[in-house]
Homo-oligomer: A and B are copies of this chain.
């Protein structure tokens, strides 16, 4: 049976979830697909592009989040930030993968445009909404990356197993509170900018 591009991306996502970004190599992926390494280059132009495609898959989950219709415009921003965090946490090393693809500009999913859209609804000017979207993205990516790497160091070290008895299905309550604190800082900043706009 012939390999399709989607099979390559599927395989990459599976290796990512099972073994992490460090083990996601072209040779290993080829092996898991039962194909020679060179065969992958018929379907993707290089590793960076492949990781970009993987990021698009990770981000596709964002589209499931209710698009709009929230009464409070600032609350829509909050929900969107949480939607991104959840999408990143759903895959091993998801935050690192998406952050690197975003900086390499190999992502086609319009995450940034979505954030800009939500921020425009708050009353920010187009330029300001763009800059605010960037700032929010930096925060969500950084915070989630950090949270995720802590989680993995923890499960690797298995340290203080009793202190960290977890039955929350992957969502750390402390981590969520920390995330919300930084997010609220950002939202307050936007609010104060919008307020001075309407005076």
Contact = CB atoms under 8 A, between A and B. Distances in A.
Interface in A147-191: 149, 178, 181-182, 184-191
A6 interface: no
A193 B182 contact: no
Contacts of A189: 184-189, 192
A142 B135 CA distance: 8
Contacts of A134: 143, 146, 178, 182
Contact of A132 (B138, B185, B190): B185
A145 interface: yes
Contact of A185 (B137, B143, B146, B193): B193
B103 A185 contact: no
A92 to B, nearest CB: 15
A199 to B, nearest CB: 15
B182 A185 contact: no
Main DSSP-derived SS at the A contact region = helix
Range class of the A interface residue count: 20 to 34
Contact of A188 (B139, B142, B193): B193
Interface of A: 103, 128, 131-132, 134-135, 137-139, 141-143, 145-146, 149, 178, 181-182, 184-193
A132 B182 CA distance: 6
Contacts of A139: 135, 138-139, 142
Contact of A138 (B128, B146, B192, B193): B146
Contacts of A132: 181-182, 185
A45 to B, nearest CB: 18
A139 B133 CA distance: 12
